[in-house]
């Protein structure tokens, strides 16, 4: 495709390859300078998408749920919707009727059901358990002198926490990694599509059985609370119940893991900052915000639809177009953050968009912050002289477009 509504859509920036993963921040810097609201094909090489890379424009997209929406029904005519559905696979409503596919009233109704479980006050009560889990994970490896930080620490910590919150039995947690991956890896080949459908089916069957058990015998977990809301006609349909639990599992699997790993890498690559943090642990909360800004694990927000014609960054986005707010780029915008490419843990202004902004601001932010604080404090308290065990240029970033996520992070320490 070379033109879309009169705008050239040649693929000018490489935004998906392995090469891009090595030069992510440089690429976004060029986009902010040359074409901050930029139209080019997405991953499939065909569908035109507007990539929004400057901080102010990204904030506009995130906050404005009148003009930028997640529910295509609010942006497209019934005919356009029907044509869209013809072109691609039917969305599976058992897993897609969630907070990140709704706007306005529908969104508020769903969000109200889960807000209470994630307030900073409630989350703070989890501190002793999260600390215990972090120490247990370190106990398992401390004598060894090395570990693969993603698999041995960054992954099991938040996964266990979210699984315990939801009430998923420990012995089943391993299967959730496979299922969760299915949701975030783009199924680009027929084989992958078939595999994704199979995993989705297994996941839904598992949840069927879990919901049935909680209906028969409710416990104190979040799944029981949601099942109760569905039973009591508290405006939660069956599809919405499935979708909510799936979203919480996926959000809990794919995000904090990357924040912990990216944060450890950033600290090891900026030893002066690490020294400051170790000298003054009261820096920890602002350090977590800065680490989120510096290498944002959710690199691209969810794709929005333009619900009206909108002028943004002197470009005209037409109703029905796709728009991606690039959070990882906004967070490196030098117009907003002085010396944006440098890590300054004491940076006072934490108004980054690493957790989004506006109506869809991350529900799990208090939990993610607490987990990451505990993770970093525990690692540096328990593992003397923690260091990278391979050269930084040999690290491999997973090829998942919306996340900035390391496949592995081998580290070592003195024993």
Comparing CB distances to ligand HEM, the nearer of 302 and 308 is 302
What is the distance in angstroms between the CA of the first residue and the CA of the last residue of the chain?
58
Comparing CB distances to ligand HEM, the nearer of 369 and 413 is 369
Tokens matching residue 173: 């947690």
Helix axes 156-166, 256-269, angle to 10 degrees: 150
Name 216's Cβ contacts closer than 8 Å, sequence gap at least 6.
none
Q: Cα torsion at 322, 301, 28, 312 (round to 10°)? A: 50
Comparing CB distances to ligand HEM, the nearer of 71 and 413 is 71
Q: Is 322 in the site for ligand HEM (CB under 6 A)?
A: no
Comparing CB distances to ligand HEM, the nearer of 109 and 213 is 109
Give the ranges where 3-103 is alpha helix by DSSP (H).
Answer: 18-22, 24-34, 55-63, 78-87, 93-96
Quick one: DSSP state of residue 255? T
Q: Is 150 in the site for ligand HEM (CB under 6 A)?
A: no
Q: Is 302 in the site for ligand HEM (CB under 6 A)?
A: yes
Rg of the chain over Cα atoms, rounded to whole angstroms, equals 21
Comparing CB distances to ligand HEM, the nearer of 297 and 413 is 297
Q: Which of 63, 73, 111, 146 binds ligand HEM (CB under 6 A)?
A: 111
Comparing CB distances to ligand HEM, the nearer of 76 and 248 is 248
CB of 166 to ligand HEM, least distance (A): 9
Q: Which of 297, 352, 376, 380 binds ligand HEM (CB under 6 A)?
A: 297
Q: Is 367 in the site for ligand HEM (CB under 6 A)?
A: yes
Q: Is 162 in the site for ligand HEM (CB under 6 A)?
A: yes
Question: x/- contact string, 244-283, with ligand HEM (CB under 6 A)?
Answer: ---xx--xx--xx--x------------------------
Q: Is 362 in the site for ligand HEM (CB under 6 A)?
A: yes
Cα–Cα distance for residue pair 58/346, rounded to 1 Å: 24
Cα–Cα distance for residue pair 301/50, rounded to 1 Å: 12
> What are the residues facing 410 on neighbouring strands?
148
- Interface size with ligand HEM, residues (CB under 6 A): 26
Name 278's Cβ contacts closer than 8 Å, sequence gap at least 6.
380
CB of 78 to ligand HEM, least distance (A): 25
Cα–Cα distance for residue pair 93/236, rounded to 1 Å: 14
Tokens matching residue 384: 């003397």
> Could you tell me which stretch among 130-138, 144-152, 234-242, 355-363 binds ligand HEM (CB under 6 A)?
355-363
Half-sphere exposure of 128 (CA within 13 A, CB side): 1
Q: Is 99 in the site for ligand HEM (CB under 6 A)?
A: yes
Question: x/- contact string, 210-249, with ligand HEM (CB under 6 A)?
Answer: -------------------------------------xx-
């Amino acid at each position: 495709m070379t033109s879309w509504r009169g705008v050239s859509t040649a693929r000018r920036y490489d935004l998906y390859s392995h090469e891009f993963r090595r030069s992510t921040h440089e690429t976004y810097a060029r986009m902010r300078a040359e074409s901050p609201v930029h139209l080019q094909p997405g991953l499939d090489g065909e569908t035109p998408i507007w990539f929004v890379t400057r901080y102010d424009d990204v904030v506009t997209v995130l906050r404005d749920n009148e003009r930028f929406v997640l529910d295509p029904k609010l942006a497209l005519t019934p005919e356009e919707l029907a044509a869209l559905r013809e072109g691609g696979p039917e969305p599976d409503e058992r897993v897609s009727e969630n907070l990140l596919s709704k706007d306005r009233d529908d969104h508020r109704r769903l969000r109200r059901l889960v807000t209470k479980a994630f307030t900073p006050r409630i989350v703070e009560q989890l501190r002793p358990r999260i600390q215990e889990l972090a120490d247990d994970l370190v106990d398992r490896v401390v004598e060894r002198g090395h570990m693969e930080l993603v698999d041995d620490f960054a992954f099991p910590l938040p996964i266990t926490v979210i699984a315990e919150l939801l009430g998923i039995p420990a012995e089943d947690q391993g299967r959730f990694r496979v299922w969760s991956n299915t949701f975030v890896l783009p199924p680009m080949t027929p084989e992958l599509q078939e595999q994704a459908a199979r995993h989705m089916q297994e996941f839904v069957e598992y949840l069927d059985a879990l919901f049935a058990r909680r209906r028969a015998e409710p416990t104190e977990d979040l799944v029981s609370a949601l099942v109760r809301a569905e039973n009591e006609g508290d405006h939660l349909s069956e599809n919405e119940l499935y979708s909510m639990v799936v979203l919480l599992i996926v959000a809990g699997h794919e995000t904090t893991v990357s924040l912990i790993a990216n944060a450890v890498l950033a600290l090891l690559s900026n030893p002066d900052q690490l020294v400051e943090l170790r000298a003054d642990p009261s820096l920890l909360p602002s350090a977590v915000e800065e680490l989120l800004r510096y290498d944002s694990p959710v690199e691209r927000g969810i794709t929005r639809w333009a619900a009206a014609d909108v002028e943004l960054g002197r470009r005209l986005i037409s109703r029905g177009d796709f728009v991606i707010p690039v959070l990882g780029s906004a967070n490196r915008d030098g117009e907003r953050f002085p010396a944006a490419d440098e890590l300054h843990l004491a940076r006072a202004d934490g108004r980054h968009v690493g957790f989004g902004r506006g109506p869809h601001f991350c529900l799990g932010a208090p939990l993610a912050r607490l987990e990451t604080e505990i993770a970093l404090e525990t690692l540096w308290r328990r593992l003397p002289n923690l260091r990278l065990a391979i050269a930084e240029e040999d690290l491999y970033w997973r090829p998942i477009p919306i996340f900035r996520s390391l496949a592995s992070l081998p580290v070592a320490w003195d024993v």
